[in-house]
Amino acid sequence: MRSNIDGHFLLIGLMAYPIRHSLSPQMQNTIYSKLDIPYVYLAFEVDQEKLADAIKGLRALGLRGSAVSMPNKQLVCNYLDKLTPAVEMSGACNTISNDNGVLTGYNTDGIGYMRMLKEAGVDVIGKKMTILGAGGAATAIVVQAALDGVNEIAIFNQKDDCYAKIETVAKKLNENTKCKVQVFDLANETQLRKAIADSAVLCNATGVGMKPLEGQSLITDPTLLRPELVVTDCIYSPRKTKLLEIAEKQGCKTLNGIGMMLWQGAAQIKIWTGEDAPIEYVKEKIGFND
Ligand code: NAD
């Protein structure tokens, strides 16, 4: 517990509902303490009904910024002054920066994923990736990957509500970036095999592999995975999903969702404080070692 909080400290919020279970306050405050910087981070139970008032409060009280999570990531865009290209394209914001009263919306989930790859020595720029999923995590990753210079992205999803939404995002990316983005039905096994064979990276951005679908994998045929393929999973609990287990057996390099989570938090800290987060320290302190 920090005992030196004085009148100069700045507040950073987290607006979501439900949110009491979140590890973010612990992670963020651990970093602020380690860096000895005058910020505190608190979670606020804010649902869609309270969001407009919460943003007014943020402005009135001069919070330095706020993280935003479900169910507010889309709606919050309506209340901000500026949006980054990634937020414009994805329609989702998870980070607000308050710069002298001007609120800018960022999305650091995709930034975190791309940084995780880079830190692991995986170069996907100019190459192709295949992604399973079309929800919040997948959209953030696809958008950032396209903006960062990935050459081609194949998205596979079941034909649910997310499918039509990602088709709209793919259209925007095809019109506004050099990346070729295609959306396929997850049931199309021929296309899936072909896309993975051409890809440098495969990413699972669905909930398949974590509770209540723990022990399951959307890829069950190991011959889809060749040793040169890097296989990533956004899931971090469990640390090793069924997909990563299969990939490891095939000799693939594997990365779980811990890195994405840590690096997206580090990107938020950079935005709010200008500081580089001590990632190795956080991993050890909060038990995120993978
Ligand atoms: P979401 O609800 O927005 O999207 C879920 C996606 O999973 C959709 O594409 C849906 O079609 C697909 N899906 C669900 N059940 C399926 C099934 N049985 N078969 C095939 N597809 C199925 O969720 P989200 O926020 O995008 O999260 C997706 C995953 O990413 C979750 O496991 C979440 O924990 C993880 N995540 C990790 C991080 C991180 O920092 N590591 C950040 C965000 C999300």
Question: Per-residue pLDDT tens for 216-239?
Answer: 999 999 999 999 999 999 999 999
Amino acid (one-letter) located at 283: K
Q: Best substitution site from 155, 157, 234 to test ligand 1's pocket, by max atoms within 8 Å of Cβ?
A: 234
In the reported structure, the alpha carbon of residue 206 is separated from the centroid of ligand 1 by a whole-number distance in angstroms of: 3
Report whether pLDDT(2) > 90: no
Pick from 217, 218, 10, 236: nearest CA to 109 = 236
pLDDT at 152: 98
> CA-to-CA distance for 184 and 72, rounded, in angstroms?
28
The predicted structure's pLDDT at residue 289: 67
Cis check for the bond before 18: say yes or no (omega within 30 of 0).
yes
The rounded mean pLDDT for the chain is 96
Band of residue 288 on the pLDDT scale cut at 50, 70, 90: confident
109 lines ligand 1 (CB under 6 A): yes
Q: Are 19 and 41 in contact (CB under 8 A)?
A: no
pLDDT, position 287: 74
Question: Is pLDDT at 1 greater than 90 in this prediction?
Answer: no
For residue 191, what is the enclosing H or E element? helix 189-198
Q: Does 9 score more than 90 pLDDT? A: yes
Instruction: Render pLDDT for 82-97 as a digit per residue (tens, 0 to 9).
Output: 999 999 999 999 999 9
Name the band, by pLDDT with cuts 50, 70 and 90, for residue 290: low
| Res 3: pLDDT | 83
Q: Which of 50, 73, 118, 172 is catalytic?
A: 73
Ligand 1, atom 28, residue with closest C-alpha: 206
Q: Within a 13 Å sphere around the CA of 53, how many CA atoms are in the beta-carbon half? A: 7
- What element of type H or E holds 131? strand 128-132
Q: Enter the tokens of residue 106.
A: 């960022």
Cβ(208) to ligand 1 under 6 A? yes
> What's 84's DSSP letter?
-
Instruction: Output the pTM of the full model.
Output: 0.96
Nearest Cα residue to 105 out of 136, 71, 74: 74
Q: Is 73 known to be catalytic?
A: yes
Q: Look at strands 65-68 and 95-99 and give their pairing.
A: antiparallel
- Whether 90 is in the pocket of ligand 1, judged by its Cβ within 6 Å, is no
* 174 Cβ inside 6 Å of ligand 1: no
- For residue 61, is pLDDT > 70? yes
**Cα four-point dihedral sign 72, 76, 78, 82:** negative
* pLDDT of amino acid 239: 94
The pLDDT of residue 252: 98
With cut-offs at 50, 70 and 90, classify the pLDDT of residue 188. Answer: very high
Q: Please say whether the beta carbons of 283 and 256 come within 8 A.
A: no
